[in-house]
Structure 1
């Protein structure tokens, strides 16, 4: 079923965006900074992938879930979407942990 992986990624991206905006973790607080971090992290990981592909460490597996569109040899269309999702998810988890640690610190100071 071609495209199923990309569809699952897009649903996951939407879920993380909704959590992010609902709890004001990254995009709602500082959209420019959040988008810059997501873009720069994605670019770094894409370069990492390209180096891995060039050295033969990474190869594209055959899966019926992929669309079959390659942006470069062994680099499927879904890869940058996954990397951006991973960067945004990391940013959201980090913001959530920072918030929870601050909340815990305030409780300890008060009580």
Structure 2
């Protein structure tokens, strides 16, 4: 089914955006920096792909799930969308991991046995 991969990517991006919104991790915390990081990462990986395609390392396989639109030889339309998704996912996972680590540090740093207003 042509376009199935693109549809899957868009649904995945929407799912990560819901998680991001729920926990205010990346785009809803710092939208400008998030957009810049995704753009820079996507451009970097597209350049990486271009080098790999030129060297003959990366080739586009035949798949009925691809839409069939190529931006360049061996570079399907879905590739930059996948790369942007990968960058966004990485930002959300990193922000979530940092939040968990910070909460654990605060919990470990809290004095044991102290209550607010009482003596230890």
Same fold (TM over 0.5): yes
Give the unaligned 5+ runs of structure 1.
none
1:88 is the counterpart of 2:91: no
Q: Point out the structure with max Rg over C-alpha.
A: 2
Residue by residue over 1:18-48, the C-alpha shift from the partner in whole angstroms, topping out at 9 and shown as x without a partner, is 1111100011110000000000000000000
- State the distance in 1 between where 2:27 and 2:68 align: 31
Shift of 1:16: 0.5
Higher helix share: 1
- State the distance in 1 between where 2:74 and 2:104 align: 46
| Matched residue SS, 1:67 | coil
Counterparts of 1:1-111 in structure 2, within 5 Å, are: 1-110=1-110, 111=112
Q: TM-score, normalized by length of structure 1?
A: 0.99
Between the two proteins, the alignment pairs up a number of residues equal to 111
Residue by residue over 1:21-79, the C-alpha shift from the partner in whole angstroms, topping out at 9 and shown as x without a partner, is 11000111100000000000000000000100000000000000001100000000000
Which stretches of structure 1, 4 residues or more, deviate above 6 A after TM superposition? none
- State the distance in 2 between where 1:22 and 1:35 align: 18
- State the distance in 2 between where 1:29 and 1:85 align: 18
RMSD, aligned α-carbons: 0.5
Bigger relative contact order (CA 8 A; separation at least 6): 1
